[in-house]
Amino acid sequence: MSKQTAIKLHVDVGPDHMIKLPDEVPVGPAEVIVLVEENGAATAQDPAGLIGLMADEPEVMDEMIGHIRSRRERWGRRPVG
């Protein structure tokens, strides 16, 4: 099992959806988990939540779903879909 480090950041997501990570975050592969407040703009725009926000970004959705499938396969679970 590899060692992992968690870094918790509080950010405001702007209209361009870009988030700059602090210089202390090392360069290399990382897993990003986004937690959105229930009363935040995401749920107000689309009750389906974050997946609904990506409806206009099919290549991003394909990449996310592919990542989830590969993770589940490595964990020995049934693939999604």
- pLDDT band for position 81 (50/70/90)? low
Structure tokens at 5: 């480090």
pLDDT digits (tens, 9 = 90+) for 6-50: 888 888 888 888 888 888 888 888 888 888 777 655 444 555 566
- DSSP structure class, residue 17: -
pTM of structure: 0.40
Residue showing tokens 């937690």:
35
- pLDDT band for position 79 (50/70/90)? low
Alpha-carbon distance values, 73 to 20, 60, 63 (Å): 31, 20, 15
